[in-house]
Chain A
Amino acid sequence: MRTDECLAALAEHRTAEVVIASMTSAVRWPAYSDHPRDLIYVPSTMGGAPSLGLGLALARPDLRVVVLNGDGSMLMSLGSLVTIGEQAPPNLVLVVFDNGMYAVTGGQPTPGAGQVDFASMALAARWPITHRFSQLGEWAEALPGLLRAEGPAFVQLTVEPEPTSITAPPVPMSERLTKLLAALD
């Protein structure tokens, strides 16, 4: 399945959730959503999106937070799986798009490309909900339940490798944050 197809399915089911999109997802997500609760996390610190989402989920248990991450980013912060497993925010969903490459730098393979079972890592870190999907239909079918589940919930999506280029959105980060914060009230 393709990253775009997965994002389109998410957009179809998403309602009021905060969506934090990083790396490849940050480039593609605006094609499917212009929701005030979107945070296009560019520029970012690579690997930081799950932790950013954890903080927001802890501070605002009344919100649901969905973090879109890449496999290269996840590899940079595997410890965050343990931190999130311990804090166990029920309102957090972390989706890892596993394309086995650093898509925004030219498509170089990530360490262990295609062989890393992130979902099992999350399970070992005591996440109560973990999934690994490689078929679009499975992902689309699971989405309604995942977005309402008592998490934290972890999803690994095995997607086709597609290099992309990353550019910051035309709207400055300060304006994007102002818009997001207004939408959280």
Chain B
Amino acid sequence: MPTIDLAGIAAQLQACGITHMVWIPDSEMGGLEAHLDPSIRLVRACREGEAIAIAAGLMLGGARPAVVIQCTGFFEAGDAFRNVAKDLGLPLFLLIGHRNRTAFLEGRSKDSAAKHLQAVLGAWELEYIALEPGGDPAVIGELYARSQGSGSAAAVIVAE
């Protein structure tokens, strides 16, 4: 069964010049920390909205953060996302674990978190791409470059 390439994701973050990874681990990307290059400072947040606000401050200071959270936390963090992406207009970059995505797409799960994420991202007018199991993590670098170039927030949803 194909899996998510965590080492590949970590390599993409490094190649993008990410300086800080602000995160709350989830079940699929929890192993990412072990692959993280020491040049990327890990910031452990207690809540996802907090992680997004930290990333905003980092960007104001000229750093290049990535926020790594699960979709459940993204739901919780809606107002923080709204403020940072819409009010402050900062090019927030997120990796969002999509809980039970694969099982939902195959009809094996009715997880509401899996069902509603993409609709929520659409409501926020947030550009996103999906990284499926076995998929090429290079999509991360491509979307990050586009996001920073346009000055707009973007997200990679990572299948769980």
Contact = CB atoms under 8 A, between A and B. Distances in A.
Interface of A: 43-49, 51-60, 63, 77, 79-80, 82-83, 86-87, 173-174, 177, 180-181, 184
Contact of A45 (B43, B44, B82): B82
B134 interface: no
Nearest to A177: B88
A123 to B, nearest CB: 17
Given A55-B53, A58-B58, A60-B62, A83 B45 contact: yes
A69 to B, nearest CB: 12
Contacts of A44: 83, 87
B31 interface: no
Contacts of B82: 45
Nearest to A80: B50
Main secondary structure of the interface of A (DSSP, over half): helix
B58 A51 contact: no
Nearest to A60: B61
A79 B54 contact: no
B79 interface: yes
Nearest to A49: B53
Given A44-B87, A52-B56, A59-B19, 13 more contacts: A43-B87, A45-B49, A48-B52, A48-B83, A56-B57, A56-B60, A60-B62, A63-B61, A83-B45, A177-B89, A181-B60, A184-B61, A184-B62
B35 interface: no
B46 interface: yes
A69 B99 CA distance: 34
B87 A58 contact: no
B41 A55 contact: no
B80 to A, nearest CB: 5
Sort A-B residue pairs by CB-CB distance and give the 5 closest, nearest first.
Answer: A55-B57, A59-B61, A79-B46, A51-B53, A48-B53
B59 interface: yes
Report which residue of A43, A58, A86 has the largest number of chain B beta carbons within 10 angstroms of its beta carbon: A58
A77 B63 contact: no
Contacts of B20: 58-59
Nearest to B60: A56
A79 B77 CA distance: 14
Given A45-B80, A58-B20, A173-B89, A79 B47 contact: yes
A177 B84 CA distance: 12
Contacts of B62: 59-60, 184
Given A55-B55, A55-B57, A48 B49 contact: yes
Nearest to A86: B44
Contacts of A180: 60
A41 B56 CA distance: 12
A83 B54 contact: yes
Contacts of B57: 51-59
A56 B58 contact: yes
Report which residue of B22, B54, B55 has the largest number of chain A beta carbons within 10 angstroms of its beta carbon: B54
B8 to A, nearest CB: 27
Nearest to A180: B60
B97 interface: no
B91 interface: no
